[in-house]
Amino acid sequence: MKIYFVCSVCGSTDVTAEAWAEWNKETQGWIVSSLQEHGHDWCNDCEEHVDLVGKNDGLELEEEI
């Protein structure tokens, strides 16, 4: 089952989460090391900071990110 995240306000999947990433010189790519706490997520449809809700095939997961 795939997990996805939606905006807690409008339900859109057009969302982003702010994160820290570390450069890996071996793979020559960025690796996400941690996500920021609440208040740093963004909904492109609402055009504002929102909380994200995890979903699994339409079912809401236990926690927000």
- For residues 61 and 54, give the distance between their C-alpha atoms in angstroms, rounded to a whole number: 5
For residue 46, give the 3-state DSSP assignment. coil
Per-residue pLDDT of 5-41, as tens digits, reads 999 999 999 999 999 999 999 999 999 998 877 668 9
Give the list of residues 6+ apart from residue 11 with CB closer than 8 angstroms, or none: none
| Confidence band, pLDDT 50/70/90 cuts, at residue 64 | low
pLDDT of residue 8: 95
pLDDT of residue 40: 83
Which of 5, 20, 19 lies closest to 50 in space, CA to CA? 5
- Run of H or E including 5: strand 3-7
24-33, 39-48, 55-64, range with the lowest pLDDT: 55-64
Q: Assess whether pLDDT exceeds 90 at residue 60.
A: no
